[in-house]
């Protein structure tokens, strides 16, 4: 039934914009739910103040809180995605793909031609997303994450 409703009434694409300091409480909450070790407000404040960090958020309306975000450290011609997160009940709706695509397009305008990221080997949803966006595995860090999971190093040239 949900698939039929989604076809009849497709969800609106998210609104995408630069993250600001006013987004920090939502970014902190989203990150805490998405990762075992969530970043605190001080970490987000530090990152958003860093001239080399680029951050974008997805919202479901002009005055709505973020439902997802992405942060990268960028030093042309390369960048590294530091984190991507979407609220649990909004996943698998294209928000992550829209965020990464929007983010990479903005980085390209700044002269970025290569993007790197790291993802847990067992995170099938994230790996599928990144593969669809053109990322390829270029390395592996064995036992990198708590519990012994490997980290995959991915690269995309554009």
Q: Higher pLDDT residue, 144 or 8?
A: 144
Q: Tens of pLDDT along 84-123?
A: 999 988 888 889 999 999 999 999 999 999 999 999 999 9
Read off the pLDDT of each residue in 73-89 and give the average, rounded to a whole number: 95
d(CA 61, CA 51): 27
Q: Residue 10 above 70 pLDDT?
A: no
Please state, rounded to an integer, the average pLDDT across all residues of the chain. Answer: 93
What's the confidence (pLDDT) of residue 88? Answer: 83
The whole-number average pLDDT for the span 31-40 is: 92
Q: Mean pLDDT, to the nearest integer, of 125-153?
A: 95
**158, 133 contact by CB (below 8 A):** no
**Tokens 């998405």 sit on residue:** 34
- DSSP code of 65? P
**Sheet of strand 114-120, all strands in order from the earlier edge strand to the far edge:** 15-18, 53-59, 66-75, 78-86, 114-120, 151-157, 136-141
Q: What is the pLDDT of residue 8?
A: 73
Note if the bond before 77 is cis, omega within 30 degrees: yes
The whole-number pLDDT of residue 89 equals 82
- Best CA proximity match to 50, nearest among 21, 17, 12: 21
pLDDT band at 58 (very low <50, low <70, confident <90, very high): very high
The H or E element that residue 143 is part of is none
**61 pLDDT higher than 70:** yes
d(CA 29, CA 12): 23
Q: What is the pTM of this model?
A: 0.90
Distance between CA 39 and CA 108 in Å, rounded?
Answer: 27
């Amino acid at each position: 039934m949900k698939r039929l409703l989604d076809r009849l009434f497709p969800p609106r694409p998210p609104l995408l914009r630069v993250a600001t300091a006013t987004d920090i409480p939502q970014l902190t909450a989203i990150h805490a739910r998405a990762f075992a070790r969530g970043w605190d407000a001080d970490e987000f404040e530090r990152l958003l103040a860093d001239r080399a960090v680029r951050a974008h958020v997805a919202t479901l309306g002009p005055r709505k809180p973020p439902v997802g975000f992405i942060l990268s450290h960028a030093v042309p011609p390369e960048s590294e995605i530091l984190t991507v997160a979407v609220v649990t009940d909004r996943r698998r709706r294209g928000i992550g793909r829209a965020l990464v695509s929007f983010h990479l397009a903005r980085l390209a305008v700044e002269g970025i031609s290569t993007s790197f990221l790291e993802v847990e080997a067992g995170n099938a949803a994230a790996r599928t997303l990144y593969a669809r966006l053109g990322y390829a595995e270029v390395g592996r860090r064995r036992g990198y994450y708590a519990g012994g999971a490997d980290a995959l190093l991915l690269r995309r040239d554009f």
